A and B are shown apart, each in its own frame.
Chain A
């Protein structure tokens, strides 16, 4: 059976500043299961890029292997994509970014792809503070091989065949904070109003930006007893705040009472407007974030929203002092020292 998406779009679809309507940001038709959380995230990416007036060809999509890693085919068809090998997307993204610092690098991975086979590369891409967005579509199971537990499955969570996971889970957001990631957020695929501003903020962050999105697997991990089912996640969400992303220069209007609002200024002047703040939590303070996450965990709650953003961030290019010009734009004239210099090098070896 094949699906064909109707090509027809309403002629009056609103256009963004670049003159593109939202369909320009779409991708191929998804082949994931109906109701898959991942498709909602893809829709969020499309909406965020449309609203941010991003030129799709100035963004590169990268992924590993698994259901989640298929999704870059389902958004931004005018962007180059790279579906690499299992668990190795961070290294490919690192090389790509080194070659051309002027593009946006949008990485998509899953819980198997990141927390198991790709753990080493995940850890090191954070350590290097590569300027990229790294989204994990986290469903606690291996969907493409029919539902085995992953390393993010919670201890005690029951899978579809009734088996209880006896192992501790790896909490990727806590780990990212521990490792010094400059932007860490957590969200739920079913909460678009929270997810879209987070994606926008992650794109704006000039360093490594991590979003762990709980994204239920409708086919293999949506049963009673699973802690990654739609019902369970909805019942246990605890948002740190509600969020608005305000682009640079735009006037900020708040409708909330003093004291429950915080404006987080981003590096380029954009503002993240956080409302209804959680108690004892300051997104610019790593220690308070770590505390809040531990407390939430002890209560069986999933803390969502922006968790942490570093006021200072130095990405890999700035650390290793590469040229401001994209390396892939340099020519022989810039790069080749020529034969006269080679003669002097020869002389040193005589």
Chain B
């Protein structure tokens, strides 16, 4: 039944577990060992909004070509959760493998003629070899990792090495783990043909790369950016951003002399208070940030409007999840784009950055703090659950020690001394960005009243129409200045040559790049652009103008990025063709290819198109 074609370093494995049973660390061990063999690998947690007892999956794609998006079609399932077993068996591709616990006989409904069964008596082996109940549960996981090592040719020394690191200081735990691995391996050696036709071979392709989740990268970025105040409210999937910031601060932010902390982290009573604290701290001259997800962003709207209008630097990391409302809290989506871009009532717009790798999470978090102070406005980092909570292979982080924090236009006591009359909202440099002062700077100069009400150039309350409108127009001048300050998009070609272009951002990048390779492989060429920020730079407008049709790939139902492009750049809606994915799972290249070709067939007639 097995396929005869050998596939090296190209397969998908799914682990079907029960959450709270210790499977996560065993599964991570599996992934990390492959990473250590230098083979591109990408794991995805598909987990419930629950702590114990519900099904959870861990899907690992191995791709020598370096395709790090999700792929459809599962080659092997480790099915150790009876609750989801039936569905798990159904999800396996024809010719795939089912690794299951054969301590009990499989019920007939679990039998499929077109798949292969690898039965390993996990429970029996555990009961024979371990006495402690918790160990019996935990080592079931390690035994299947051992079996997989044999079936897929994972180098044993890599697993050994990882265990040695994991149990450093608790070395007596290592032998029991090695024993469990050997139990699994030996069982495969005795009972099955190995390795499977898809398996691993060392490649050493990853060199300097690291494997880390985006939220940790954001937390670390905030440390490097000099953030000193973080206020937050727990919400999946953003919680680990501030937790990472807290963890790194414990090592990196202790005052050497006093032993006290050069950071203040406060768990607020809700998201409103969290963003309020961030605004208060930034107003008072500290670098402060919060992290949240969709529901929190909704709550923060009013304050974001205040920060926009009163021009207070604010950094917000939005780890997007599946909406609307509570939605699917543990699934991914790019569906906060419009909410974030226009958060709050009245004419408001906010600067957004879109990272797509952990390195960009790190770099752009730092960029957010510089931009927030330079532009004196909220900057929102639009990451998502897939990027934030899953491990990704990424270039390593780099900090240029010569780099200084750009604190923007802040007047110190000396500068104030030399000014005749300070006007908080005067457009001195004609770029829309006024000068600000920090409380406590000067006894008689520079104080002003920050407010969400309309005011004149000297921060004095006014209901004068002209003064109000002057201020609103200056804010747009500032917005236009921002266009040249935010990160530029990535173009995939030297010049735009094709009639069709594709446009994507954030975590859609992995699969979009893979789809693009496929299209190119089929002998046609498309131009591509990856957006990294809003407001859109002129390059984005130019890209769209220079193509007849542009596919806009995004992970939401309502084509929010397309809307934003239409609204902000006055693009003809017919020119932008949406490729959408909104089932809560990361978009796949197959999905993109299917939609692109369907749309071309059904409603596109691109004359003499040399593309697609």
Q: Give the interface of A toward B (CB within 8 A).
A: 28, 55-58, 60, 62, 72-73, 77-85, 88, 90-100, 102-103, 120-121, 123-124, 128, 316-317, 320-325, 327-328, 330, 332, 334-339, 341-343, 345-346, 349-350
Binds A, one of B119-127, B284-292, B328-336: B284-292
Is B444 in contact with A93, judged by CB distance below 8 angstroms?
no
What is the CA–CA distance of A85 and B212 in the complex, to the nearest angstrom?
39
Q: Nearest chain-A residue to B461 (Cβ)?
A: A73
Q: Which residues of A contact B255 (CB under 8 A)?
A: 323, 325
Contact A80 B450 (CB under 8 A): yes
Given A323-B258, A330-B262, CB of A95 within 8 Å of CB of B220: no
User: Which of B228, B270, B441, B443 is most buried by chain A, counting CB atoms within 10 A of its CB?
Assistant: B228
Q: Which residue of B lies closest to A79 (CB)?
A: B447
> Can you list, as one digit per residue, whether each of B265-293 has a CB less than 8 Å from chain A (1) or not (0)?
11011101111111111111110100000
Q: Are B260 and A322 in touch, CB under 8 angstroms? A: yes
Write 9 A-B pairs (CB below 8 A) sorted by A numbering. A57-B441, A81-B449, A84-B280, A339-B401, A342-B398, A349-B211, A349-B212, A350-B36, A350-B210
> Which of B540-596 touch A at CB < 8 Å?
none
A78 lies within 8 A of B447 (CB): yes
B231 A322 Cβ-Cβ under 8 A: no
Q: What residue of chain B has the Cβ atom nearest to residue A61's Cβ? A: B449
Count of chain B residues with a beta carbon within 8 Å of a chain A beta carbon: 72
Chain B residues with CB below 8 A from A93, complex form:
280
Residues of B within 8 A of A (CB): 35-36, 208-212, 220, 223-224, 226, 228-229, 231, 252-253, 255, 258, 260-266, 268-270, 272-286, 288, 302-303, 306, 396-401, 404-405, 437-444, 447-453, 460-461
Q: Which 10 A-B pairs have the closest CB atoms?
A: A95-B280, A91-B276, A99-B286, A95-B277, A95-B281, A80-B439, A328-B285, A92-B280, A349-B210, A99-B284
In the complex, the answer to whether B399 meets A339 with C-beta atoms within 8 Å is yes
> Do A95 and B211 touch (CB < 8 A)?
no
Q: Is the pair B229, A337 in contact by a Cβ cutoff of 8 Å?
A: no
**Known contacts A80-B450, A81-B449, A94-B266, A121 near B273 by CB under 8 Å:** yes
Cross-chain contact B449 with A72 (CB below 8 angstroms): yes
A84-B306, A91-B280, A100-B286 given; name 5 further pairs at CB < 8 Å: A80-B450, A94-B231, A98-B266, A100-B285, A320-B261
Give Cα A93–Cα B273 distance, bound, in whole angstroms. Answer: 10
The smallest beta-carbon distance between A29 and chain B, in angstroms, is 11
Q: Establish whether residues B253 and A335, one from each chain, have CB atoms under 8 Å apart when the complex forms.
A: yes
Once the chains bind, are A339 and B400 in contact (CB under 8 Å)? yes
* A96-B281, A324-B258 known; A80 vs B448 contact (CB < 8 Å): yes
Closest to B277 in A: A95
Find chain B residues with CB under 8 A from A82 CB.
Answer: 280, 283, 449-451
Contact residues in A for B285 (Cβ distance below 8 Å): 99-100, 328
Check if A91 sits within 8 Å of B228, measured CB to CB.
no
With the chains together, A82 CA to B89 CA distance in Å? 61
Flag if A98 contacts B281 (CB, 8 Å). yes
Contacts of A317 in B (CB 8 A): 264
Which partner residue on chain B sits nearest A339 by CB separation? B399
A78 to B266, CA, bound (A): 30
Closest to A101 in B: B264
Given A57-B443, A79-B447, A100-B439, A336 and B399 contact (CB-CB distance below 8 Å): yes
What is the CA–CA distance of A146 and B263 in the complex, to the nearest angstrom? 44
Complex CA–CA separation, A177 to B223 (angstroms): 38
CA distance A96 to B278 in the complex (A): 8
CB distance from B422 to the nearest CB of A (A): 12
Question: In angstroms, how far is the closest chain A Cβ from the Cβ of B277?
Answer: 4
Q: A58-B440, A100-B285, A346-B210 are in contact. Are A330 and B228 (CB under 8 A)?
A: yes
**In the docked arrangement, what's the CA distance between A128 and B273, Å?**
13
Minimum CB–CB distance from B389 to chain A (whole Å) comes to: 15
Shortest distance from the beta carbon of B541 to any chain A beta carbon, whole Å: 35
Q: Is the CB of A336 within 8 A of B260?
A: no
CB distance from B271 to the nearest CB of A (A): 10
> With A73-B449, A81-B450, A99-B280 in contact, is A322–B263 under 8 Å at CB?
yes
Does B439 contact A323, Cβ atoms closer than 8 Å? no
Question: What chain B residues lie within 8 Å of A84 (beta carbons)?
Answer: 276, 279-280, 306, 452
Taken together as a complex, chains A and B put the C-alpha atoms of A335 and B277 apart, in Å, by 20
- Contact of A83 with B452 in the complex, beta carbons under 8 Å: yes
Q: Chain A residues near B258 (CB, 8 Å)?
A: 323-324
User: Inside 8 A of A345's CB, which chain B residues have their CB?
Assistant: 220, 397
CB–CB A98/B405 < 8 A: no
Chain A residues whose CB sits within 8 angstroms of the CB of B405 once the complex forms: 332, 336
With most chain B CB atoms within 10 A of its CB, the pick from A92, A128, A330, A350 is A92
Contacts of B224 in A (CB 8 A): 336-337, 342
Q: Is the CB of A96 within 8 A of B264?
A: no
* Chain B residues whose CB sits within 8 angstroms of the CB of A98 once the complex forms: 229, 264, 266, 277, 280-281, 286, 288
CB closest residue in chain B, given A28 = B460
Taking CB as reference atom, which chain B residue is nearest A77? B447
CA distance A341 to B201 in the complex (A): 33
Please state if A55 and B276 are interface contacts (CB–CB under 8 Å): no
Within 8 Å by CB of B288, from A56, A95, A321, lies A95
Q: Is the beta-carbon distance between B453 and A83 smaller than 8 angstroms?
A: yes
Given A80-B450, A120-B270, A332-B405 in contact, is the A323-B262 Cβ separation under 8 Å? Answer: yes
What are the residues of chain B within 8 A of A97 when measuring CB–CB?
A: 280
Residues on B with C-beta less than 8 A from A336 are: 223-224, 226, 399, 405
Chain B residues positioned under 8 Å from A58 (CB to CB): 440
Which residues of B have CB within 8 Å of A55? 443
Contact check, A121 vs B228: say whether CB atoms are below 8 A apart: no
Q: What residue in chain B is nearest A127 (Cβ atoms)? A: B269
The chain A residue with its CB closest to the CB of B270 is: A120
**What is the CA–CA distance of A95 and B264 in the complex, to the nearest angstrom?**
9
Q: A98-B277, A124-B273 are in contact. Are A328 and B286 (CB under 8 A)?
A: yes
Q: Is the CB of B401 within 8 A of A335?
A: no
Closest CB in chain B relative to A102 CB, distance in Å: 7
Q: A73-B461, A337-B252 are in contact. Are A96 and B401 (CB under 8 A)?
A: no
Residues of chain A lying within 8 A (CB to CB) of residue B263 = 322, 327
Q: Given that A98-B266, A330-B262, A339-B399 are known contacts, is A88 also in contact with B272, CB under 8 Å in the complex? A: yes
What residues of chain A lie closer than 8 Å to B461, measured between beta carbons? 73
Give the Cβ gap from B400 to chain A, nearest Cβ, in Å: 7
